[in-house]
Chains A and B, each alone.
Chain A
Amino acid sequence: MLNTRYKYFIGISIFLIFTSCISLIEDNFPPYEQKVVVNALINNNKPITIHLSHTANVRNDSILPVTDASIELYENSQLKETLTENEAGIYQSQTIAQQGNTYSIRVICGKDTVYAETTIPNQAQLNHYTFDPHAWLDEDLFFNPNVTFGLKNNPDEKMFFEASVIIAPSPNSMYQFSEYSILLPLFSNENITGDEIIKSIDFQHSITSSHAKYSYTLVIRRTSESYYQYVNSLSAYGLYRYPDSFTSFSEIINIYSNINNGRGIFAAYNEMQSAPYLLRLINDE
């Protein structure tokens, strides 16, 4: 048995070492110059939706939508239309975006004029894919799946991709839920010289009930470089923005912007989906 004094000493020591202290450093921030913020991620075969707002101060200002702007939309440098506001700060085109075309916008908002441009890439070619539902165990000791797939590569062209998996209830499942999506890491064809890009990615979808039956659908987006940069920076931003004891020393990432004279993103992607993969659990065999 430990001596009582020793137990107290251990208890106090552990308490002190893990007792952290939070103190206020600053609550009065200098004003920030107001800029126009453009947000648009455009997809092949869809109309172009643009969200306009203003930047605000760190602490007190409300972020206001831009309601009286004029947006000129150009397709391959030809003016296609001038967009009008649908709802607060949201402007939508009549034009349907098509792969291979370059779209640019000119936003006139009072004294400010901002510009941006993007090209919709051609669709990815999925050569093959497989799901392994019991590929790995997570820290909580539950099984999780893996997806392996191959995409056609063109080493002479910069190619950027985003993958995700849609999880939906299978038709005969007793357990019903709304489908949802898990985002996988972005990747590119940098340094891949062969004619195929092969990715094998573990993703977390803990399999806990033998009654549930799921289907997995692999979604591949071929993206513009600016989309790739933006989404990468957005995920890194979250890691720093909400630090914990492990991530506190992560590097700050400013969210990527390709808007001239303003902030935000104007980028494009082209999406395709695999056929659903019906998941069968071990206990179903």
Chain B
Amino acid sequence: MKKGYLLLCFIVILLNQGIAQVKLSGFVKDAQSREVCIGANILDTKNNIGVSTDKNGYFSFQSKNNVDLSISFIGYETQNLHINSPCDSILIIYLKPRQEIIDEVNIVSQKSKNPNYSTLSRQQLQSVPSLSGQPDVMKSLSILPGIQTNGELSSQISVRGGDPGQNLYLLDNSTLSYVNHFAGFMSVFIPDIINDIKVYKGGFPAEYGNKLSSIIDISQRSGEMTAPKGAISLGITDFNGFIEGKLSEKSSFIVAGRKTAFDPLIALAAKQDNYTVFYGFHDINVKTTHNLDIKNQLFFNAYYGDDYFVSWRTSMDDNYHRTKSNAKNVWGNWLVAGNWLHSASSKSFIHTTLSVNQYRIKNKFKTKGDNEKHKQKKVSSKQNITLKTKWNYRISPWLNTISGIQSSLNIFSVFQKKTPGFNVAKYYDSGNVMLSSSAFANGNFDITKFLKLQLGVRFNHYHLYKLNTINIEPRLQIEWIFAKNNYLTFNYAEMHQDSHLISLPSIVMQNEIWLPISHRKPPEHSKQISLGYSRNIENNKYSIECLTYYKAMENLLYYRNYHFGNVKDNFQETGIDVGGKGIAYGLEISAQKNRGSWTGLLSYNYMKTTRQFETINNNQAFDPKYSRPHNFNILLSKQLNEKWSFNIAWTYKTGLPYTPAIGRQISIAPEILGSTDYYETLIYDDINSKRMKDYHRLDISANYTTYTKRGNKAVWTFGVYNVYNRKNPSFYFYNNNPSLEFHHSENDGLPNENLKLYQMSILPVFPSFSVKIYFDEIKFSKDIFNFLKYE
């Protein structure tokens, strides 16, 4: 009792100390565009207290009532403010962009940072050479330590040995389910609208959950508070553009769109007398920002993007009845979201998000004949409506809390027919409507100036028909800043996942099916510990990071693509192995040069990951198909002058695993109509027990900035993908000739003779280009018109 009383007194004294001081909070923004500055540094030079702005540009700290603030952000002029206020204050600080920033092409945080979190600024994104000649978010992320893409054409990523379905993609705080176009050739994010990308690979704050391996938090730009301006761009795969400007004195907008350029070429190439097909994709992003007053900001954003594969056929039957048919496969997602940022007081900030997202694969078929009409639609989808409220509250100078709630209503469907009168087969074993609710709290304790502790907890409740699951996720982060610019961190995090992803490469390109948890498929669960070190050198001219981690996962799924070529079942759960365990551990090292005419990044990543299922490989652990233990990346950028800049990227990865054949045997086919067949089959060794040849590739690009006859800025990008034409393996196969034309022993019972192992490589040396024309302010409509007319 006495101890409890003493503790209470101690807390009251500490809180009173806090109350006696002044609380300063607010936003840091670009003076020109009103765009928030993420990662800007606010330093109280008198008391030597510093904080950084979060992804909303928000900061909050407590100090004495007479302070000198230094606000700095790379690429902007440092601003010094003297504040002598007897009471708490909310500030909006505008920073002026520097006029000459040629030697600073990258924007990175100025202080040592947690190596569990990787950031990619818009400038860095632009500097990574790509196959299409235009920046691609997902491909660019793969240069960061701990992140790797799965295949040459794949945008699916694996973070620290996790599965591709364990990554949460947030677009302005709202979940986006599907991020690929063209079987992973490109991702759905339009670079022009992106402000900043932050990837959490471990040490997850409690506000994030529902995915095991990473949180990819993408912040979109707000439109600039100017007259309308924008840009259009044309590359070898697509054309895109954006327009932004102010709607009113307090509101702005930005709209961006993208559309494939090669649809007609495919249609022409595929055209036959009575049949043709085409493929394409498109994306549209819209964001409006409304600064209601100093305490309230609203922004709304919407995204709509699809891939589509369409075919037409005209046929005539024996009675000369003509039938016109049309098949349309569409897959992609849309998102509508609203965000409200509210500074309740100088020590309290509330961020509320309401979002609706749907990912779906639609197969539509339509026929119209002389005597008949028929329509059919199959849909596989995942929809969610999410409400999230986050409350940032500074209790005292040494304690800042972030707490909140999140609730999502998820509706799943797997290839359900929408044909009238069809009795949909019951697929789900536990229903298809799930309510996921979470409550979270994070306390950031500044124990000393050099020692910080972050304690967090997240409670999750998943409810489906007759299934209720509750789990608790503890989070811990200890930060120690020593010897000026050295930063050491220890992290522990547990995560759960309320749905499972399986990819179906064989149905319509690379489609994804999400399955809700069930008794058979309980929530995936992971525990991760990590120890990281980072250091700034020469006032952040150089920075180095090093981190080691260990992650254990359970309740994993494995989908082995059981597929009957001539059968279209609703879905076949027989191919899903459940109850898997996984481990991943590794080492990530990176070094960056952040300023100067040359900038660059070197990263090395060692990652060992295995999976273990009772039903696979005799319950022995094996490497998953996307495991690549060694990854090495170099990215160098050189700003030669105001017109020319060059980028070079080299990547090396261990080859993907494959399962070797070790022998042949006779197998029996099930008896059909009284006939039994025997044919030759291969005997394979342990799953993924050998590796393909290592992967390496050099890409280069050059940007040339010039001006059109009308005075518009134009940037030409020329690139070469796979400069030295490395034949990297895509997959291995056994055949008796170097082609994908196989002799099927099961068709004729004849033996497979002279089998050899072959490698399939795709994407040899490949040139690319794109051009982007900027249109400034008032001249916009006139410029577009003139550009089309004269250029």
A residues with a Cβ closer than 8 A to B are 9-10, 13-14, 16-17, 19-27, 29-30, 32, 37, 39-41, 43, 49, 51, 53, 55-63, 134-141, 143-144, 148, 162, 164, 166, 179-188, 190-192, 198-204, 208-211, 231-232, 234-244, 246-255, 263-265, 269, 282-283
Closest to A190 in B: B520
The answer on a CB contact under 8 Å between B506 and A166 is no
Complex Cα distance A247/B564, Å? 13
B644 within 8 A of A: no
**Is B327 located at the chain interface by the 8 A CB criterion?**
yes
Interface check B566, CB cutoff 8 A = yes
For residue B520, which residues in chain A have a CB less than 8 angstroms away from its CB?
190-191
Q: In this assembly, does B451 line the interface, its C-beta being within 8 Å of a C-beta of chain A?
A: no
Chain A proximity of B790: nearest CB distance (Å): 15
Q: When chains A and B are docked, how far (Å) is the Cα of A13 from the Cα of B238?
A: 13
List residues of chain B with CB within 8 A of the CB of A210. Answer: 317-319
Residue B12 interfacial (CB < 8 Å): no
Q: Which residues of B contact A247 (CB under 8 A)?
A: 505-506, 561, 563
Q: CA–CA, A170 to B305, complex, Å?
A: 49
Of the residues A26, A135, A141, contact of B327 by C-beta under 8 Å: A141
Q: A183, B564: Cβ atoms under 8 Å?
A: yes
* Known A183-B567, A249-B505, A263-B683; contact A188-B326, beta-carbon cutoff 8 A: no
CB-defined A-B contacts under 8 Å, sample of 24: A13-B236, A17-B763, A22-B740, A22-B759, A24-B756, A41-B670, A51-B666, A51-B678, A53-B666, A55-B683, A62-B751, A136-B417, A137-B325, A139-B327, A148-B425, A162-B670, A182-B567, A187-B574, A202-B570, A211-B318, A232-B575, A246-B506, A250-B561, A283-B319
> Contact partner of B673 among A30, A166, A236, A263, CB < 8 A?
A166
Q: Is the CB of B668 within 8 A of A51?
A: yes
Chain A positions within 8 Å of B518 at CB level? 191
Q: A residues within 8 A CB of B671? A: 41, 43
Q: How far is the CA of A243 from the CA of B740 in the complex (A)?
A: 7
Q: Are B572 and A185 closer than 8 Å at their CB atoms? A: yes
B 286-327 binary contact with A (CB < 8 Å = 1; else 0): 000000000000000000000000010101011101000111
Docked complex Cα distance between A188 and B572 (Å)? 11
Contact partners of A9 in chain B: CB under 8 A: 236
Which residue of chain A has the shortest Cβ distance to B744 in the bound complex? Answer: A242
Are A143 and B766 touching (Cβ within 8 A)?
no
Does A58 contact B664, Cβ atoms closer than 8 Å?
A: yes
Q: Is the CB of A232 within 8 A of B562?
A: yes
Query: Is A231 within 8 A of B670, CB to CB?
Result: yes
Per the bound structure, the CA–CA distance linking A61 and B755 in Å amounts to 11
Q: Report A-chain residues with C-beta under 8 Å of the C-beta of B419.
A: 135-136
- Residues of B641-679 whose CB lies within 8 A of A: 658-659, 661-673, 676, 678
Residue of B nearest to A223 (CB): B670
Residues from chain A with Cβ under 8 Å of B687 in the complex: 251-252, 254
Q: Which residue of B lies closest to A164 (CB)?
A: B672
Asked if B446 is at the interface of the complex by the 8 Å CB criterion, the answer is no
B666 A37 Cβ-Cβ under 8 A: yes
Nearest chain B CB to A149 CB, angstrom units: 11
- B509 touches A (CB below 8 Å): yes
Smallest CB–CB gap between A243 and chain B, Å? 5
Contacting residues, chain B, for A254 (C-beta < 8 A): 683-684, 687
By the criterion CB–CB under 8 Å, are B766 and A203 in contact? Answer: no
Which A residue's beta carbon lies closest to that of B561? A250
Q: B731 touches which one: A190, A201, A238, A249 (CB < 8 A)? A: A249
Against A, the Cβ 8 Å flags (1 = close, 0 = not) of B754-766 are: 1111111111111
Instruction: Tell me if A242 and B742 are in contact (CB < 8 A).
Output: yes
Known pairs A22-B738, A183-B670; A39 contacts B678 (CB<8 A): yes
- Which chain B residue shows the least CB distance to A160? B574
Q: Are B681 and A235 in contact (CB under 8 A)?
A: no
Complex contacts, A239 vs chain B, CB 8 Å:
506, 561-563
Min Cβ gap B313→A in Å is 5
Most chain-B Cβ atoms within 10 A of its Cβ — which of A164, A243, A249? A249
* Contact, CB under 8 Å: B367 / A203: no
The smallest C-beta distance from A44 to any residue of chain B, in angstroms, reads: 12
State the CA gap A179–B262 with chains docked (Å).
45
Q: Which listed residue, A22, A27, A182, touches B760 by the CB 8 Å rule?
A: A22
CB-based nearest A residue for B422:
A135
A-binding segment of B94-102, B368-376, B585-593: B368-376
State the CA gap A202–B740 with chains docked (Å).
Answer: 29
Q: Are A39 and B668 in contact (CB under 8 A)?
A: yes
**B367 partner residues in chain A, CB cutoff 8 A:** 137, 141
Complex alpha-carbon distance, A133 and B424, angstroms: 16
**Chain B hits for A21, CB < 8 A:** 727, 760-762, 764
**B625 touches A (CB below 8 Å):** yes
Tell me the complex Cα distance, A136–B687, Å.
37
Confirm or deny: B68 has a beta carbon within 8 angstroms of a beta carbon on chain A.
Answer: no
Take A27-B756, A164-B672 as given contacts and tell me if A199 and B425 are in contact as well, using a CB distance cutoff of 8 Å. Answer: yes
Which residues of B are interface residues toward A (Cβ below 8 A)? 150-151, 236, 262, 265, 311, 313, 315, 317-319, 321, 325-327, 365, 367, 371-372, 374, 376, 378, 417, 419, 422-426, 429, 505-506, 509, 518-520, 558-564, 566-570, 572, 574-575, 625, 658-659, 661-673, 676, 678, 680-684, 687-688, 693, 727, 730-734, 738-740, 742, 744, 746, 751, 754-768
| A198 interface neighbour in B311, B425, B429, B669, Cβ under 8 Å | B425
Nearest-neighbor residue (CB-CB) of A59 within chain B: B755
- Closest Cβ neighbor of B686 among chain A residues: A254
Q: Is the CB of A59 within 8 A of B318?
A: no
**A248–B731 contact, CB under 8 A?**
yes
Instruction: Closest A residue to B313 by CB, please name it.
Output: A141
Contact (Cβ within 8 A) A59 B754 = yes
> Known: A13-B236, A241-B682. Contact between A201 and B767, CB under 8 A?
no
- Is the beta-carbon distance between B662 and A32 smaller than 8 angstroms? yes
Query: Is B751 touching A137 in the complex (CB atoms < 8 A)?
Result: no
User: Known contacts A25-B757, A263-B683: does B569 contact A181 (CB below 8 Å)?
Assistant: no
Q: Is the CB of B566 within 8 A of A180?
A: no
Q: Which of B321, B658, B668, B751 has the most CB of A within 10 A?
A: B668
- Check if A63 sits within 8 Å of B519, measured CB to CB: no
In the complex, the answer to whether A250 meets B560 with C-beta atoms within 8 Å is: yes
Complex: how many Å from CA A124 to CA B378? 31
- Given A26-B756, A198-B425, A263-B665, are A203 and B763 neighbors across the interface (CB < 8 Å)? no
Are the C-beta atoms of A234 and B665 separated by less than 8 Å? no
CB neighbours of A135 from chain B (8 A): 419, 422
For A60, the chain B residues whose CB sits under 8 A away are 754
Q: How far is the CA of A144 from the CA of B318 in the complex (A)?
A: 19
Given A137-B365, A137-B376: A13 touches B767 (CB 8 Å cut-off): yes
Inter-chain CA distance A283–B323, complex, in Å, is: 13
Chain A residues contacting B766 (CB-CB under 8 Å) are: 13, 16-17
Complex CA–CA separation, A162 to B572 (angstroms): 13
Residue ID in chain B nearest A62 by CB atoms? B751
Residue of B nearest to A140 (CB): B313
Contact B566 A182 (CB under 8 A): yes
* A248, B666: Cβ atoms closer than 8 Å: no
- Known A22-B760, A191-B520, A209-B317; further 20 A-B contacts with Cβ < 8 A: A21-B762, A22-B761, A25-B759, A26-B757, A37-B665, A55-B683, A57-B664, A59-B756, A60-B754, A136-B376, A136-B378, A144-B568, A164-B672, A180-B673, A200-B424, A200-B570, A201-B570, A238-B746, A246-B509, A254-B683
Q: Which of A14, A26, A203 contacts B265 (CB 8 A)?
A: A14
A209, A231, A241, A244: most-surrounded residue (chain B CB, <10 A): A241
Residue from A29, A203, A264 with most neighbouring chain B CB atoms (10 Å) = A29
A186, B681: Cα distance in complex, Å: 21
Chain A nearest CB from B223 CB (Å) reads 33
Most buried by A among B378, B667, B683, B756: B667
Whether the pair B374, A143 counts as a contact (CB closer than 8 A) is yes
Measured CA separation A282–B317 after assembly (Å): 13
Contact B262 A236 (CB under 8 A): no
